Structure 1
Amino acid sequence: MRFLTAVNLEHPEMLENVSRELWMRIWSRAAKKAGMSAEQAQGLLEKSSTSKVKSQLRETTEAACRYGAFGLPITVAHVDGQTHMIFGSDRMELLAYLLGKLKIQH
């Protein structure tokens, strides 16, 4: 986002093209590393603008908001009948503790 901000400040006429190129490269690289073919990735990129995908994302976002989500990454853990929302990638120890995989020694 900082790079795109710098592009916008220095070369605003290039912002849209740079944004699109970054987006395509990021997702195509992720798909390739996950083992998808270029054709599969391209098909999914095309489907990402369909009403079905948009509707599903809206439903997922609304569910996250009901949990109180305010950013990413968020993990929701359902443990012993309770729901715990954990925000941040630096909270994996807390998730492990909630799941009984980490014991705190006193």
Structure 2
Amino acid sequence: MVKVSFYNKKVILKGHAMHGDYGQDIVCSAISSISQYTAEFLKKEKLGSYKKKNGYLKIEYSNDELSLKIIEHMKEAMISIEKDYPGNVKVEVKNK
């Protein structure tokens, strides 16, 4: 299972979706695409940074309007995936 935790100024993703075979896992693909796009966007715009290794991604971001907007879109996308695949994704929002 992938655990996606949203905190103030950071997002941490841990684990593997385990929905399908390696290279065929659509849940993993969706989560990876969204999170890596977000991380690269924030880095390119000098609004954040990230660290990743196998099964782990930590995104840190600034508290400006654009960063907050893209993180909010990422959160909505992850929650949508969680609704469709509750056995593979768990989203926690800890910055309410």
Greater share of residues in helix: 1
The structure showing larger relative contact order (alpha-carbon pairs under 8 Å, at least 6 residues apart) is: 2
Report which of the two structures shows the higher radius of gyration computed on alpha carbons: 1
Greater share of residues in strand: 2
